[in-house]
Amino acid sequence: MADISTSAADKKDKEYFTNVPQEAPGFFLKGSHQYDWGLKNRLSKVFNPKDGRTVMLAFDHGYFQGPTTGLERVDQTILPLEPYADCLMLTRGIQRSVIPASTQKAIALRASGGTSMVSPMEEWEGEIDGKKFKMGRPGFEPLSNESTALTIEEAIRLNACVLAVQVFVGSAYERQSLKNMTDLVDAASRYGIGVMGVVAVGRAMARNAQYFRLATRIMAELGANVVKCYYTEDGFDTITSCCPVPIVIAGGKKLPELDALKMCASAIKEGASGVDMGRNIFQSDAPVAMMQAVRGVVHEGLTADQGYAMYQDLKAKKK
Ligand code: 5RP
């Protein structure tokens, strides 16, 4: 029965087994033990085999919003963070133009796109109390009208470990974005490259556990090897529990540093396999300090308060 059902026939309580970790016999990463060698090896570069977790640094925002605050000069702001990341999530344009080919970091390559923040809205004209107004047609979401944005040969040339594709469950272009993802899974799996489905949240979609359970599970069922979604205050452990592959959280809009670290710590405690964060790191007052604090929380088991103390200390020392 669908998770959104409210019918009388669907009264049986859900059982998420949030206290029982899913087994991955013979391999450290959730849901990945039956993959081929090459894909396992690439995922082992993204996720640290010692703890099964990752700190991915996301700075692909320019693919639809141009020079985002903090990313005006990626060479100046992101390269100092590179040593502290396990994986770099980026576009091919930035990878070729800015990232040294000598990097040892795993690459999560943006593989969908084709729209922008200023994609034209389909407008309609309405009238209330005799006053005319223009607005976007309900349900029309130009940002979700993406295509795949690179070939598998290009992903191989750029030595990608995973391909990142935006999926807009519940949007006007849901079907197309899911087809983008399954096309990439078909192509990438031929070469042992992973696919990370990224839950994109449109204006009409609720950021709650019910929505993220639905979206993350659909992506995993359709072949995503990793899923990225937002943290929810309520029921995040039910999202990670019923998604059979690793979940990493996006950071979302910039928060005060302590709040961002609390979010990371809670997500890890509730079953996330790591973070794929951008703005909460590169828009911080002290990005290098924040990056190390996030790393401390994800990999070293620091509490949010300990991570924050580390951030303040490193910030004071300008490290
Ligand atoms: C772009 C993305 C971003 O990489 C993602 O949202 C992570 O960045 P942030 O932590 O700034 O939300 O997927 O759509």
Task: Tell me the residue type at 67.
Answer: P
Task: Tell me the residue type at 74.
Answer: V
Centre of ligand 1 from the C-alpha of residue 283, in Å: 12
Rounded Cα distance between 232 and 212, Å, is: 9
Kindly state whether residue 18 falls inside one of the protein's structural domains.
no
Are 91 and 155 a contacting pair, CB within 8 Å?
no
CATH number of the domain to which 165 belongs: 3.20.20.70
CA dist 301 → 23, 28, 295 (Å): 22, 18, 9
| C-beta 62 within 6 A of ligand 1 | no
Rounded Cα distance between 179 and 155, Å, is: 18
Per-residue pLDDT at 110: 98
Locate the ligand 1 atom nearest the alpha carbon of residue 61 and give its number: 1
Q: What is the pLDDT of residues 97-126, one digit of tens each?
A: 999 999 999 999 999 998 888 777 666 666
Residue 203 pLDDT greater than 70, yes or no: no
Pocket perturbation via mutation, ligand 1, pick of 60, 88, 165 by most ligand atoms within 8 A of CB? 60
Locate the ligand 1 atom nearest the alpha carbon of residue 279 and give its number: 11
Nearest CA to ligand 1 atom 2: 61
Per-residue pLDDT at 6: 54
Kindly state whether residue 15 falls inside one of the protein's structural domains.
no
Nearest CA to ligand 1 atom 5: 250
| C-beta 250 within 6 A of ligand 1 | yes
Are 275 and 249 a contacting pair, CB within 8 Å?
yes
Locate the ligand 1 atom nearest the alpha carbon of residue 59 and give its number: 4
Kindly state whether residue 51 falls inside one of the protein's structural domains.
yes
Kindly state whether residue 113 falls inside one of the protein's structural domains.
yes
Per-residue pLDDT at 207: 85
Count of domains observed in the chain: 1
Helix residue ranges per DSSP H, 98-173 = 152-157
Rounded Cα distance between 291 and 284, Å, is: 9
Centre of ligand 1 from the C-alpha of residue 229, in Å: 9
Helix (H) or strand (E) holding 89: strand 87-90
Joined together, the tokens standing for residue 109 give 């390559």
Kindly state whether residue 238 falls inside one of the protein's structural domains.
yes
Host domain of residue 53: 46-253+264-278
Q: What is the pLDDT of residues 130-150, one digit of tens each?
A: 777 665 555 667 788 899 999
Centre of ligand 1 from the C-alpha of residue 124, in Å: 31
Centre of ligand 1 from the C-alpha of residue 196, in Å: 13
C-alpha triplet 317, 261, 231: angle, nearest 5°: 155
Kindly state whether residue 289 falls inside one of the protein's structural domains.
no
